[in-house]
Amino acid sequence: MLPPSDQLTVCFAHVAYRFGDRFAPRNTGIRFIEARSRDELDATIAQADVLVCSGMWRNDLPTIAPRLRFVQSCSAGTDQYDREVLKAAGIRLASGQGINANAVSEHAVALMLALLRRIPEARDNQAKRIWRGMQGDFAKREDEAGGKTVVVVGLGRIGGRIARLCKAFGMKVIGVRQNVAGGAEGADEVHSFRDLKGLLPRADFLILACPLTEETRGLVDAGALAAMKPTAQVINVARGRVVDEPALIAALQAGRIVGAALDVTADEPLPPDSPLWAMPNVLVTPHTGGETHMYEDNVLDFMVENIARLQRGESALVNQIV
């Protein structure tokens, strides 16, 4: 159980996100401190009952945080947190799963539309002051979403919303998920991961929105890319290592698929010598799919609800991990 709000201290630990700016206007009566670096976190964590963080977490923090009782992760992924360490220290953990579902699903669809409408090419032409004339070559024209087939891998909160948004554009949606019984989420069909390769020849777009697991690591490999039609395009808003990146680069260079849009890459930041930077048929965004004006508030909504539950002595948390 957490102490009452007037005796509670929350530490927001993030290098960029401005949780304090968004938390102060809520007038909760809860004291907060902010850490922008690991050194600052080490210096302040002993004061904290609640920690909001993601990348700054270290599994030795409980040894210098005697008051810490709850960690609200501001990311969906929680692999960095050692569950046994947290349990031994009596610290609860909740994930940020679903916080950026709207943002990432909209980003995926924006990337798809950018490829269809050749927006990167138009931006490049603008920078060069080129007014492209009417195009007689079908392969170089802008295209429409209606009637296209999209295979969405992962039908969780993000993938399910991608499926529904694509349906609104008149697309045929084929969903792929680990547990087919989990539902279609608006897709026309739903299949398991083992069926993916047989579905790929039908795809105009392959959109990846699945977690990185042992099953999905390298899921889109050279064989999968070879199964796609040459006019197909790949969009990845999942994790970079869901795709065999060298195989993707080779397929793009050889024209075995026509293009890709990537919000995630195998190594982040994308290395300066990666061929992906300069490929005209590739659109790269720097893992910003989930980053919006609403991000801090979405995390805080989860945190405030979980704090209230712990103060009431309840055991179940929103997105409970430990």
Q: How do residues 107-150 score in pLDDT, each as one tens digit?
A: 999 999 999 999 999 999 999 999 999 999 998 899 999 999 99
Q: What pLDDT is recorded for position 1?
A: 83
> What element of type H or E holds 113?
helix 101-116
Task: Give dist(CA 93, CA 14) in Å, integer.
Answer: 17
**Helix 119-127 / helix 101-116 crossing angle, nearest 10 deg:** 70
Per DSSP, 243 falls in state B
CA count, 13 A, side-chain hemisphere, 232:
25
Beta bridge partners of 205: 150, 233
pLDDT beneath 70, residues of the chain: none
Active site residues: 239, 268, 287
Q: Are 207 and 239 in contact (CB under 8 A)?
A: no
Length of the chain: 322
Taking alpha carbons only, the member of 175, 178, 202, 197 closest to residue 188 is: 175
Q: Which amino acid is at 187?
A: A
| Confidence (pTM) | 0.91
Q: How many helices (H) and strands (E) does the chain have?
A: 10, 12
How many degrees, rounded to 5, is the angle at CA 243 between CA 237 and CA 248? 110
Beta-carbon contacts of residue 310 (< 8 Å; ≥ 6 apart): 1, 2, 69, 70, 92, 317
Strand positions, DSSP E, the chain: 9-13, 31-35, 50-53, 70-73, 92-94, 149-153, 172-176, 189-191, 205-208, 233-236, 259-262, 282-284
Task: Give dist(CA 294, CA 98) in Å, integer.
Answer: 13
> Please, what's the b/e burial string for 78-99 (b: 16 or more CB within 10 A of its CB; e: otherwise)?
beebbeebbeeeebbbbbbbeb
Taking alpha carbons only, the member of 220, 211, 271, 216 closest to residue 245 is: 220
Q: Are 230 and 176 in contact (CB under 8 A)?
A: no
Task: Give dist(CA 41, CA 14) in Å, integer.
Answer: 9
- The three-state secondary structure class of 92 is strand
- The three-state secondary structure class of 6 is helix
Task: Give dist(CA 24, CA 107) in Å, integer.
Answer: 29
Q: What pLDDT is recorded for position 77?
A: 81
Beta-carbon contacts of residue 185 (< 8 Å; ≥ 6 apart): 155, 159, 160, 161, 163, 164, 175
